Amino acid sequence: MHPRIRELQDYYDAQRAVLRAAFERVPATLRDRPPAPDCWSAANIVEHVAIVEARLGGMLASRIAAARAEGLGAETSDGPILPTIDLTRVLDRGTRVTAPETVRPTGLGADAAWQALERATDAVRGALRDGNGLALGSVTHPHPLFGPINVYQWLASIAAHEARHAAQIDEIAASAAV
């Protein structure tokens, strides 16, 4: 596996562990219950992450396949990616982001939401495998907040998105403990 893909996969895995731990801190009996009106439950949050990742996994796979068909070459650098990406805007919970209708949760229960996330993970991991060894820094797609970003940046932002929502779930867990 190319070092850049390994780095991003490791970051993704680490953020998933953070998300899972936050989810587990919410008592099972409260995971489907929003903590307040107009708020998402822990299950809603996981479903949202699943919807986003399923969509992005498909988009990334499509962009990588198109670039490969157009003759995308091999990656020539093995330098780390994460130090070159500012994920502050993704991780900053002080800035509220309203999710577009297309990625809002539909009401899956906690177990079903987590299963949907696992399926979405397969799509993201598939894109990682498909792009392994290719010059993914030259393959771009517009992000609604950041403008055009490359595949490496997309993969890092997907993982950071999980971290952002882990913090949101931790807020639910903290309110449940009170």
Q: Is residue 34 domain-resident?
A: no
Helices (H), the chain: 3-25, 42-69, 88-91, 110-131, 151-177
Q: Which two tokens stand for residue 161?
A: 């998105």
Q: Is residue 30 domain-resident?
A: no
Residue 108 has pLDDT above 90, yes or no: yes
Instruction: Please report the pLDDT score of residue 145 as a whole number.
Output: 80
Q: Which two tokens stand for residue 11?
A: 């970051």
Does the CA dihedral 92-137-9-32 come out positive or negative? positive
Residue 57's domain spans which residues? 3-24+40-177
Q: Is residue 33 domain-resident?
A: no
Q: Is residue 126 domain-resident?
A: yes
Instruction: Please report the pLDDT score of residue 162 as a whole number.
Output: 97
Q: What is the average pLDDT across 88-112?
A: 89
- pTM for the model stands at 0.93
Split into its structural domains, the chain has a count of 1
Rounded Cα gap, residues 13 and 133, in angstroms: 19
pLDDT digits (tens, 9 = 90+) for 34-69: 998 889 999 999 999 999 999 999 999 999 999 999
Residue 16's CATH number: 1.20.120
End-to-end CA distance of the chain: 45
Residue 75 has pLDDT above 80, yes or no: yes
Q: Is residue 100 domain-resident?
A: yes
Q: Is residue 35 domain-resident?
A: no
Rounded Cα gap, residues 173 and 113, in angstroms: 17
Instruction: Please report the pLDDT score of residue 178 as a whole number.
Output: 61
